[in-house]
Each structure stands twice: as structure tokens, then as C-alpha cells.
Amino acid sequence: MKILEKIEDVKREIRRIKRKDKKIGFVPTMGYLHEGHISLIRKAREECDYVVVSIFVNPTQFGPGEDYKRYPRDLNRDIKILKKEKVNLLFVPKVEDMYPKDFKTWVIVEDLSEKLEGKFRPSHFRGVCTVVLKLFNIVEPDCAYFGWKDAQQLVIVKKMVEDLNIPVEIIGCKTVREKDGLAASSRNTYLSEKDREKALCLYKALHKIKEMVELEGIRESDILLKEGKKIIENTEGVKLQYLEAVNLKNLNPVKKIKKGVMVAGAIKIGKVRLIDNIIF
Ligand code: PAF
């Protein structure tokens, strides 16, 4: 596995690979890799000839007071995982190279970025879209792999690619869950054993909603969300930020659950913020 820090070195390597007409698969990450990332890498490995992973804790997608500084980082551990997964190239850019002092250009996907997560993290998707487009321009992948766990991110990146005619296919991959249902996330490492137990309330709420839809045939969002919110609000030490049923295309709230609807939520346990969703 090649490990490159400099943008120009990555571009040179990509030019060399493109001359051989190889299909490039790309998995952008912020590191501290878990089973969710590994599933994206395996899908890229399956579908492409040459797999690139980036590790970059992107400062511009964190708001003031968020966890940028304490976001978990362990490059040596990540390198071992990536070598085992037979990744061809690891790109680990430096903040000062991605965002030089006179950096002035931002990518904003309007409207979609203001909903759900956007209400609590107003500049988050501006940072995500800007860094993802920069990474696409550097890596020039044929396919890029994103998890459905961050469904709003996936929807927004797809829209950016469509609107800006970016020549990459965006591939969404199923959320990976731990045995008890907790969605895999680098932020799970912040949780004490007790808090991890509490964090399960979001998954339990989503699961309950799924059951009510599939087993009881209840489709009214207000009834379902009320039930889900009850589970979260009755869990001591957990703060519900939102639980919404939205159309997956435009992220607008829907009155009834049907195919193409997502129920998404965010909770806070102390300083730890977790998100999850289910898609119908
Ligand atoms: O999902 C993530 O880890 C990040 O938002 C991404 C896509 C790597 C951009 O920094």
C-alpha cells in the first residue's frame, strides 16, 4: 500500500493508474476505522481495480464547540487495517495543504443542507461538500463509497455530483451495526459502558417504528414518531435533538410512511452526539 501526503504526489500516481485504464474506487474517511468503513472498502475492492482511501479529519465540517480537537485518531492502527484490506493507496493530506491560508471557495448544496442535521450543525455540510469535491478532484475516482448511516450526507453528495456534473458514481452502502443494533461509528468510542447502553435508545426507537409499520400496519408519521420519541425521552441522561420522517429525495417531512421514506434521528449523551436512521 502506498501512503501519500502530498496532493501533487497523489495526482501523479492517479495519472499513472489512469494510463493503465484501471477502475478507481474511493472511500473518503476521517479515520479511526471501524466495521462500517471496512464494509465500504470491501465493496470498493470487489468492484474496482484500484482502491484509494483518504484519512482526513476535516476541520471545516466541525462547528464551534464540536469535537474536532478530540476526534479519535490512530493512524498506525488504521494503516494496519487498510493493508489487511489490500487498499492500494492511502491519502493522508495535511490541513494546511487542503486549506491554505488564502482558501476562499465553498460548495453549498442549498436547502438539503439546512434540514435535519443542518438545523443543529449549520455549516457542517458546507465543510463536507467542499472537502469531498476537493478529494474527488484529486483522486478522480470512477466510484465513491458512502454509508447509509450518514444518509443526509449521502443524499447531499449525490445532489452535488448531479448538479455539478462530477464524473463519479456515488454508491451507498448498508449501515453496519454492532450485535445489539448500535450503528458502527468512530464516535462510539467516546461512550462509557453505561452510556453505550443508553445510546441504544435511538436504535430501539427506530426499530419500534419499523415494527409498528411492518407488523401493525401503522403508517401515520405523528403516531409513529410519538412512540419513538417516548423511548428516547424516557432514557435518563439522553437528550433528543430530532426524530423526523422525511422523503429521502428532498428531505421534506412526510405525513405517512411509505417506500422512499427515511426516519432519522439524533441524540446527545453528555457531549457525545449520535445519529442513526432507517429507510423504508
Ligand atoms: O463521513 C465522513 O467520514 C466525512 O464526512 C467525509 C465524507 C470523509 C468528509 O470529511
Give the position, in ligand 1's atom list, of the atom nearest the Cα of 157: 7
β-bridge partners, 3? 90
Mean pLDDT of the chain: 98
> Could you report the per-residue pLDDT of 64-121, keeping only the tens digit for each?
999 999 999 999 999 999 999 999 999 999 999 999 999 999 999 999 999 999 999 9
200-204 own/partner pairs: CB under 8 Å, 24+ apart: 201/231, 201/232, 201/235, 201/238, 201/267, 202/232, 202/265, 202/266, 202/267, 202/274, 202/275, 202/276, 203/177, 203/276, 204/231
Cβ(131) – ligand 1 distance below 6 Å: yes
> Could you report the per-residue pLDDT of 145-157, keeping only the tens digit for each?
999 999 999 999 9
Task: Choose the CATH number for 191-275 among 3.40.50.2300, 3.30.1300.10, 3.40.30.10, 3.30.360.10.
Answer: 3.30.1300.10
60-68 own/partner pairs: CB under 8 Å, 24+ apart: 60/99, 60/123, 60/126, 60/127, 60/130, 60/131, 61/123, 61/124, 61/125, 61/126, 61/127, 61/128, 61/131, 62/124, 62/127, 63/121, 63/122, 63/123, 63/124, 66/121, 67/187, 67/190, 67/271
Query: Which residue has the CA at smallest separation from atom 1 of ligand 1?
Result: 29
Cβ(132) – ligand 1 distance below 6 Å: yes
What pLDDT is attached to residue 53? 99
What pLDDT is attached to residue 61? 98
Residue type, 235: T
> Could you report the per-residue pLDDT of 25-55, keeping only the tens digit for each?
999 999 999 999 999 999 999 999 999 999 9
Cβ(61) – ligand 1 distance below 6 Å: yes
> Could you report the per-residue pLDDT of 177-231, keeping only the tens digit for each?
999 999 999 999 999 999 999 999 999 999 999 999 999 999 999 999 999 999 9
Domain ranges for the chain: 2-173, 191-275
Cβ(30) – ligand 1 distance below 6 Å: yes
Domain 2-173's class?
alpha beta
Phi, psi of 117 (to 5 degrees): -55, -35
* 37 assigned to active site: yes
Give the position, in ligand 1's atom list, of the atom nearest the Cα of 150: 1
Q: What is the mean pLDDT of the segment spanning 164-183?
A: 97
